[in-house]
Amino acid sequence: MSTIINPATDKRMAEIAEKVHNGQRLSFEDGVYLYQSEDILTIGQLANEANLRKNGNKVYFIENMSLYFTNVCEAHCAFCNFRKDQGEEGSYTLSGEEMVRYVEQNITPDVREFHIVGGHNNHVPFQYYVDSLAALNEHFPDVTIKAYTAAEIDFFTRISGLSIEEVLKALQGAGLKTLTGGGAEILSDEYRKKMRVNKANVDRYLEVHRTAHKLGMRTHTTMLYGSIESHEDRINHMVQIRELQDETNGFMVFIPLSMQPKSRNASIMRRNSAFEDLKTIAISRLMLDNIDHIKAYFINIGTQLTQMALTFGASDAHGTIVKERISHAAGAVTPEGLTRKELIWLIKGAGRIPVERDTFYNEIEVYE
């Protein structure tokens, strides 16, 4: 594969391309330069090259179901429209039995994973969160439980008095198999202060995943971009994730999450551009050379841009979801879920091979 660059006019891009061709790691400065460049086609082509080297033409998806036990939250993050105060209209906290009934009414036969996140509800004890997973695990033992963000795990240590390791072991005993990637936002304590992210700081987010990896879990990680952060902040975020991956090799996938406005009626000027979304996915692929997969999250960027992202470095089209709530509470105008047929069509439309997977990227069925 050749990349068309004029070294006389863009020597730096030619140097970066040479690194990519040779499988060399990009530097922090390289990443910032890519963000500053307007040559999105070259960036996309390089990311596609890097992805094809890792994953070939395969693009993965899963039949999963998103669950939200509670939207009551002690945190007041500036970007969140999902959270509620205890007793506020629309607030709720479901018991394990109530969630089991909801799942029985909405689950599809081939769901392989429960994706569970929610509010930091300090009106219930830590045991509530353990029992919630145990109820699902008892009734649906064949469905993998992917639950809680690193920020939620940190919150559990505060309300329980237990260590990170003790919290994770208690949850593993209830059926937890892996952590979700949320709570990372931007890994900058200055950003977190400005955006009122009054939950796990950068060190705690990374330490939770480090500990989970030590306990044998493979986990997911995210980056929420498109607010006040700089391009340098985004690259620094990726570098910190890359360094932890060098240490533990515990991350399976990196998920760039495009910030949503608080209103579904917000103008396009309040949303990230398609160029910014594609560029971020591509740069993520190029910077995170030690993580196998970059996810294109259709909930935030839409189905058609997700399809385009599959040629800009993404190798995961997420899953069926059934009914997503957090991004839609914040103003997402995308579908709340897709069917298996729709995901297969979406992936094939990009000239890729759809692969149904389990939570840990084991192949279930390849749709040639």
Q: Is 73 annotated as a binding residue?
A: yes
Is 145 within 8 Å of 136 (Cβ atoms)? yes
Is 137 within 8 Å of 89 (Cβ atoms)? no
What is the Cα–Cα distance from 222 to 208, expressed in whole angstroms? 14
Tokens of 132: 């919630």
What is the Cα–Cα distance from 316 to 306, expressed in whole angstroms? 9
Length of the chain: 368
Tokens of 368: 């040639």
Alpha-carbon distance values, 119 to 90, 153, 192, 202, 261 (Å): 13, 12, 17, 19, 19
Radius of gyration (C-alpha) of the chain in whole angstroms: 20
Name which of 150, 149, 236, 226 is nearest 189 in CA terms: 236
Q: Is 213 annotated as a binding residue?
A: no
Strands (E), the chain: 58-62, 64-67, 113-116, 144-147, 176-178, 219-225, 251-258, 293-294, 316-319, 353-357, 363-366
Alpha-carbon distance values, 336 to 78, 258, 326, 348 (Å): 23, 16, 10, 21
Q: Is 270 annotated as a binding residue?
A: no
Annotated binding-site residue numbers: 73, 77, 80
Annotated binding-site residue numbers for [4Fe-4S] cluster: 73, 77, 80
